Amino acid sequence: MNGTQAAGALLQVEDLRVAFAADGREIRAVDGLSYQVDAGRTLAIIGESGSGKTVGCRALMGLLPASAEVSGSARLRGTEMIGLSDSELRRHRGQDMAMIFQDPARSLNPTMRVGVQITEAIRAHRKVARSEAHVQAVELLRLVRIPAPERRFHEYPHQLSGGMRQRIMIAMALACRPKLLIADEATTALDVTTQAQIMELLLDLQAELGMALILISHDLGLAASYADEVIVMYAGKIVEQAPATRLFGAGGTVKMRYTRALLDAIPHLERTAHTELPVVSGRPPDPTALPAGCSFAPRCPAAADDCAAKTPPLTEHAPGHRWACWHPCENGVPA
């Protein structure tokens, strides 16, 4: 809050809000996010489609359309990102923070050799000669474990597999060795084996380069396997946040039924004895007409009158564990 940066925080987000206008109505895509990411740590941001995961991260990067109304604060290494001009943001993008997206097929230029695309990413941020950028690009290909990088440099995106293309995207994002890397569904389009390889690569690179990592996904399984900390989003808000170790495994203490439902949707995780709770049905609310009180109440099997009357605040109830619910689960299972 008051502009101070918590010790150790690389990124400190306070009351971040993003709204769009749609036919005269307001879409509250991100509705008051506050969290921090420490250097070298991995945060997973999880939630159903439309919960505001991408918009919240694009706001940090200054990558939203001009129609987006952004307010609140996001300080990266102490510098406020919200409200910076395009040229100021460009200086931070690449150097301090970078983002990789779900669909490399759309993000890469099909008519340009991949090595040249990496070279251009380097030269967009640093004044280096083309020959030096070439050397650095090959080095980046090696960094992302692409075999025969000198040869691959000259290939076009269509000559590479999906996993290889995603490695190229990672190489481009790492061109200036950012302190924070945001991976938005970066492995969703890949088969399970390739997905695991790319995730291992990201974690290796994180350790090698000392980066913080934000993993955006709708898949709580990914968070269980790779994250230190988990944020669960619903209708633009954080509804639960905890260290991964508190949520997953036999001793997991999930508090929100929404998180519980996401967890129960993971096929390969061991289920606890008491997961008869039907996976929560229904759809996320219309973002232009959010229900009063708790946005999840209309779908929640435990909803009572107070849920629709008053919005539960996101409060830290146990060390590092925040949740926003009037009737939380007990011992990780519905009360």
Ligand X SMILES: Nc1ncnc2c1ncn2[C@@H]1O[C@H](COP(=O)(O)OP(=O)(O)OP(=O)(O)O)[C@@H](O)[C@H]1O
156 binds, among ligand X, Mg ion, none (CB under 5 to 8 A by kind): none
Using CB under 5 A as the binding rule, the residues of this chain from 4 to 63 that contact Mg ion are: 54
Binding residue (CB under 6 A) for ligand X from 53, 75, 322, 327: 53
Nearest to 236 by CA among 187, 188, 291: 291
Q: Which is nearer to ligand X, 21 or 292 (CB)?
A: 21
To Mg ion, the closest distance from the beta carbon of 61 in angstroms equals: 13
Residue 27 sits in the site that holds ligand X (CB under 6 A) = yes
* Residue 229: burial class (beta carbons within 10 Å; 0-12, 13-18, 19+): buried
CB 186 within 8 A of CB 199: no
Dihedral sign, CA of 175, 177, 182, 186?
Answer: positive
The partner in contact with residue 65, picked from Mg ion, ligand X, none with C-beta cut-offs of 5 to 8 angstroms by kind, is ligand X
Asked if residue 187 binds ligand X (CB under 6 A), the reply is no
Binding-site size, ligand X (CB under 6 A) = 15
Span from 19-27, 152-160, 292-300, 305-313 in contact with ligand X (CB under 6 A): 19-27
Task: Give the x-and-dash track for 32-51 against ligand X (CB under 6 A).
Answer: ---------------x-xxx
Q: How large is the angle between the packed helices 192-209 and 162-173, nearest 10 degrees?
A: 20
b/e map 156-194, b = 16+ CB within 10 Å:
ebeebebbbbbbbbbbbbbbbbbbbbbbbbbbebbeeeb
Stretch that binds ligand X, among 9-17, 53-61, 78-86, 220-228 (CB under 6 A): 53-61
Q: What is the footprint of ligand X within residues 269-308 (CB under 6 A)?
A: 287
Of residues 49 and 131, the one with the C-beta less far from ligand X: 49
- Is 92 near ligand X (CB under 6 A)? no
Distance from C-alpha of 165 to C-alpha of 46, rounded to nearest angstrom: 24
Is the separation of the CB atoms in 115 and 141 below 8 Å?
yes
Residue reference for tokens 């080095």:
139
Which residues does residue 181 pair with via DSSP β-bridges, in sequence order? 98, 213
Is the Cβ of residue 102 or residue 119 nearer to ligand X in the bound state? 102
Closest approach of Cβ 34 to Mg ion, in Å? 20
| Per-residue binding letters, 206-235, with ligand X (x by CB under 6 A) | ------------x-----------------
Sign of CA dihedral 119, 121, 122, 123: positive
Is residue 104 a contact residue for ligand X (CB under 6 A)? Answer: no
3-state secondary structure of 6: coil
Q: Applying CB under 6 A, which residues contact ligand X? A: 20, 22, 27, 29, 47, 49-55, 65, 218, 287
Q: Applying CB under 5 A, which residues contact Mg ion? A: 54
